[in-house]
Amino acid sequence: MTAKRWKAREPFLQIRGLKVKFPERGRELVAVDGVDLSIARGEIAGVAGESGSGKSVMSQSILRLGAYDSTQSCEGEILFAGQDLLRLPEAEMRRLRGSRIAVIFQDPMTSLSPVHTVARQMTEVLTLHRGCLKIEARRRCAELLARTGIAAPEACLRKYPFELSGGMQQRVMIAMALCCEPELLIADEPTTALDATVQQQILELLAGLNRELGMSMLFISHNLGAIAQLCHSVHVMYLGQILEEAPAAELFSRPLNPYTRGLLQCAPHLDSRRGGPLPTIAGTVPSPYRAPAGCRFCTRCPEADERCRSAEPPMLEPAPGHRVKCWKYAVSERNCL
């Protein structure tokens, strides 16, 4: 079901050297620490990593959402359609949100209003952003709900979000995101709260939308099975950094970073041959206030040596398009990026 037709290579969203810091009681928490990530038109880019690795903060900074306020500082560039989103005036940013770039979250109820019907919330997007007439907007909303697999769209439009199941709420969120035909959909753990069957249906829906509309996606999940199924490329994050990235097939067949290997060993459905209890990566993610000086993963890496503990590895490219931040692959200076 993966959208195989993706071929374009030129990035249309380019994150360069992104650093996001939160100053707190005299200390500084670096949630995103020098991330480079590009998404091409029509590409589904997956971001994997344990909880707390900076996936949400990184994706929210694209639209300057969430905790983005005067206390949070962002460095670097986020280039979209020739503009740096980190430096765009707020009025222009508001026009972009929900129109050219849309976002869906793990819990739809954080974005849906409990006091208005689905119809009221959905049609508003079209009447405000697109200047549609109400009657036309309602027809379009019903079409979009049907497109996301809702069997009785008219009945759904009349309901309040709390009257819908979690899977239905997520479909409504996706339909709302589609209202303005965004070029990029940011989906932050969109299936995490759903049971396995509904999760599968939502993944198929996203893959279908990518195939049919060519919509690019940034798909964030700690579920490697979902990422393997849906994404063209995978970026593995740990403590605010990308430790490995590659086309999905390459990353899953030849994981290079010991962290990626650890994550894969903890994903049962990706290695069904193995029996017995599930392994976990030893140790816990260090506090971002006390990130290790060398490689971020060195305190838990079974292969770490003195160099890993003292110096941060550069991003290396041992195979074309397969990049890894790990000293093990620094065979020569030539493949340092």
Binding residues vs Mg ion (CB under 5 A): 56
User: Is the distance from CB of 200 to CB of 208 less than 8 angstroms?
Assistant: no
Q: Which is nearer to ligand ADP, 57 or 281 (CB)?
A: 57
Does 31 bind ligand ADP (CB under 6 A)? Our answer is yes
> β-pairing, 241-247 with 233-238?
antiparallel
Number of residues that bind ligand ADP (CB under 6 A): 13
> Minimum CB separation from ligand ADP for residue 86, in Å?
17
- Residue 42 interacts, among Mg ion, ligand ADP, none and using kind-specific CB cut-offs from 5 to 8 Å, with none
Q: Which is nearer to Mg ion, 56 or 260 (CB)?
A: 56
Q: Which is nearer to Mg ion, 99 or 192 (CB)?
A: 192
Q: Is 62 exposed, middle or buried (0-12, 13-18, 19+ CB in 10 A)?
A: buried
> Minimum CB separation from ligand ADP for residue 9, in Å?
27
Residues 36-65 that bind ligand ADP (CB under 6 A): 49, 51-57
d(CA 226, CA 245): 16
Does 190 bind ligand ADP (CB under 6 A)? Our answer is no
End-to-end CA distance of the chain: 34
DSSP secondary structure string for all residues of 255-273: --SHHHHHHHHT-GGG-TT
Q: Which is nearer to ligand ADP, 180 or 251 (CB)?
A: 251
Query: Nearest Cα to 12, choosing from 166, 201, 218?
Result: 218
> Minimum CB separation from ligand ADP for residue 245, in Å?
16
Q: How many CB atoms lie within 10 A of CB 235?
A: 27
Position among 11, 19, 29, 200 found at the interface with ligand ADP (CB under 6 A): 29
d(CA 63, CA 99): 11
User: Is the distance from CB of 243 to CB of 35 less than 8 angstroms?
Assistant: no
Q: Which is nearer to Mg ion, 63 or 164 (CB)?
A: 63
Q: Which is nearer to ligand ADP, 112 or 236 (CB)?
A: 236
> Minimum CB separation from ligand ADP for residue 190, in Å?
13
Position among 190, 288, 292, 294 found at the interface with ligand ADP (CB under 6 A): 288
DSSP H helix total and E strand total for the chain: 11, 12
Does 68 bind ligand ADP (CB under 6 A)? Our answer is no
Q: Which is nearer to ligand ADP, 1 or 67 (CB)?
A: 67
Q: Is 159 exposed, middle or buried (0-12, 13-18, 19+ CB in 10 A)?
A: middle
> Minimum CB separation from ligand ADP for residue 294, in Å?
19
- Residue 52 interacts, among ligand ADP, Mg ion, none and using kind-specific CB cut-offs from 5 to 8 Å, with ligand ADP
- Residue 53 interacts, among Mg ion, ligand ADP, none and using kind-specific CB cut-offs from 5 to 8 Å, with ligand ADP
Unique residue bearing structure tokens 């939502």: 202
Torsion from C-alpha of 180, 216, 241, 82, nearest 10 degrees: -70
- Residue 68 interacts, among Mg ion, ligand ADP, none and using kind-specific CB cut-offs from 5 to 8 Å, with none
Residue 336 is given by DSSP the state B
Q: Which is nearer to Mg ion, 21 or 328 (CB)?
A: 21
> Minimum CB separation from ligand ADP for residue 129, in Å?
28
**Interior CA angle at 230 toward 228 and 236, to 5°?**
50
Binning the chain into helix, strand and coil, the percentages to the nearest 5 are 40, 25, 40
> Minimum CB separation from ligand ADP for residue 148, in Å?
25
List interacting residues with ligand ADP (CB under 6 A): 22, 29, 31, 49, 51-57, 67, 288
